């Protein structure tokens, strides 16, 4: 068994087959999602993914991402028949060495911009033990939520917009500079997500709460056929109907507590439904009670875990 740098031309199909064998029952992904995420993570990072090979056969895979001094381990899999032979540990060690070489000082499980998982999945207990044994410390619990949009739901919060004299509108190219300035001021960590949607020509999927010229809030939505295969669409194989989603839900500090956040979420759910989704995925949150108001339920839970390199 030897560890090689992942080569999309030689390894993509074998590694995708490995994913199906290893995680097909718990966390299935479709081929497009898998390839898009691996490519996005490894763009400009030739050693960002590693393959453990038995002859020419991939039996293990590690995928990382990096953002400055922060690294992310996005996937680590070993074929069921090959588990217990130290392959996962070897892949992890090499992945950490490579991240260190890129200048990373810390590595998180999941949670990168092109992630599969939000964190360490609670329903994979063996993975939890493995990463604890390799020095990863649990930090906090978060969850992914889902709304079943097929359930009829009364519109409860639109009047909050009317009361504030505000409206929810899709972002346009003309509105984009003001939206980006708002995001930079209020939620700088979400600017990259907005740019990613705009770069794919999908700025209309950014919904904006505004009052005349004032921007009050933004939310990034994803239609089932979105070109931006973001974190909200990763697990679409696990749902019995088209999956959409939303995230990066933000209301300006001065407007919080006026009902506009929940009204924006309600409007986003309606837009995602109109775009053809049966289910709406809300990834990475801790405010379950807030989203429960618009019908969201916990899908799965995750532990945020990290290791200093």
Ligand X SMILES: CC(C)(COP(=O)(O)OP(=O)(O)OC[C@H]1O[C@@H](n2cnc3c(N)ncnc32)[C@H](O)[C@@H]1OP(=O)(O)O)[C@@H](O)C(=O)NCCC(=O)NCCS
Q: Is 188 in the site for ligand X (CB under 6 A)?
A: no
* CB 35 to ligand X: min, Å: 28
Q: Which is nearer to ligand X, 36 or 143 (CB)?
A: 143
* CB 164 to ligand X: min, Å: 10
Closest CA to 262 of 157, 190, 170: 157
Using the contact rule CB under 6 A, the part of the chain among 30-38, 115-123, 163-171, 243-251 near ligand X is 243-251
Q: Which is nearer to ligand X, 239 or 290 (CB)?
A: 290
Q: Which residues pair with 304 in a beta bridge?
A: 140
Q: CB nearest ligand X: which residue?
A: 261
Which of the residues 247 through 286 are near ligand X (CB under 6 A)?
A: 249-251, 256-262, 285
* CB 218 to ligand X: min, Å: 9
Q: Which is nearer to ligand X, 15 or 272 (CB)?
A: 272
Q: Parallel, antiparallel, or unpaired: how do β-strands 243-251 and 206-211 relate?
A: unpaired
Helical H runs in 8-166?
8-23, 31-42, 87-101, 125-133, 158-164
Q: Is 287 in the site for ligand X (CB under 6 A)?
A: yes
What interhelical angle do 8-23 and 31-42 show, nearest 10?
130
| Torsion sign (Cα): 49, 306, 218, 33 | positive
Q: Which is nearer to ligand X, 11 or 210 (CB)?
A: 210
* CB 142 to ligand X: min, Å: 9
Closest CA to 88 of 127, 132, 119: 127
Q: Is 289 in the site for ligand X (CB under 6 A)?
A: yes
CA–CA gap between residue 228 and residue 202 (Å, rounded): 8
Q: Which is nearer to ligand X, 274 or 287 (CB)?
A: 287
Q: Which is nearer to ligand X, 59 or 216 (CB)?
A: 216
* CB 302 to ligand X: min, Å: 13
Q: Is 290 in the site for ligand X (CB under 6 A)?
A: yes
Listed in sequence order, the residues at least 6 apart from 240 whose beta carbon sits closer than 8 Å to its beta carbon are: 278
Rg, C-alpha atoms of the chain: 20
Site for ligand X (CB under 6 A): how many residues?
Answer: 15
* CB 298 to ligand X: min, Å: 13
Beta-sheet strands, E only, within the chain: 2-5, 49-54, 57-67, 70-78, 106-109, 120-121, 137-148, 167-170, 206-211, 214-222, 243-251, 279-285, 296-308
Q: Which is nearer to ligand X, 78 or 209 (CB)?
A: 209
* CB 141 to ligand X: min, Å: 14
CA–CA gap between residue 131 and residue 107 (Å, rounded): 12
Using the contact rule CB under 6 A, the part of the chain among 79-87, 146-154, 194-202, 287-295 near ligand X is 287-295
Contact 171, 206 (CB under 8 A): yes
Which residues in this chain contact ligand X in the complex, by CB under 6 A? 249-251, 256-262, 285, 287, 289-290, 293
């Amino acid at each position: 068994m030897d560890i090689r740098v992942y080569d999309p031309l030689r390894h993509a199909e074998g590694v995708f087959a490995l994913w199906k064998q290893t995680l097909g029952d718990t966390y299935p992904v479709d081929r497009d999602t898998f390839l898009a995420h691996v490519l996005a993570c490894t763009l400009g990072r030739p050693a960002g993914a590693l393959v453990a090979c038995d002859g020419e056969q991939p039996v293990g895979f590690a995928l990382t991402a990096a953002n400055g001094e922060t690294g992310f381990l996005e996937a680590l899999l070993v074929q069921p028949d090959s588990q217990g032979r130290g392959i996962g540990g070897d892949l992890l060690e090499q992945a950490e060495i490579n991240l260190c070489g890129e200048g990373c000082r810390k590595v998180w499980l999941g949670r990168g911009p092109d992630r599969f998982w939000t964190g360490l999945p609670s329903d994979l207990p063996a993975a939890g033990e493995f990463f604890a044994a390799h020095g990863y410390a649990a930090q906090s619990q978060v969850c992914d939520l889902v709304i079943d949009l097929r359930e009829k739901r009364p519109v409860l919060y639109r009047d909050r917009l009317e009361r504030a004299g505000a409206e929810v509108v899709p972002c346009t190219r003309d509105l984009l500079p003001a939206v980006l300035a708002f995001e930079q001021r209020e939620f700088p960590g979400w600017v990259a997500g907005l740019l990613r949607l705009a770069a794919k020509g999908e700025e209309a999927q950014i919904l904006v709460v505004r009052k005349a010229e004032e921007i009050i809030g933004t939310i990034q939505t994803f239609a089932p056929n979105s070109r931006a295969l973001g974190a909200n669409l990763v697990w679409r194989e696990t749902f019995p109907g088209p999956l959409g989603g939303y995230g990066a839900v933000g209301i300006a500090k001065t407007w919080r507590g006026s009902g506009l956040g929940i009204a924006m979420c309600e409007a986003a759910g309606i837009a995602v439904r109109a775009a053809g989704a049966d289910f709406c995925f809300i990834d990475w949150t801790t405010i379950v009670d807030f989203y429960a108001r618009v019908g969201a339920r916990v899908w799965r839970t995750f532990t945020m875990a990290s290791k200093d390199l």
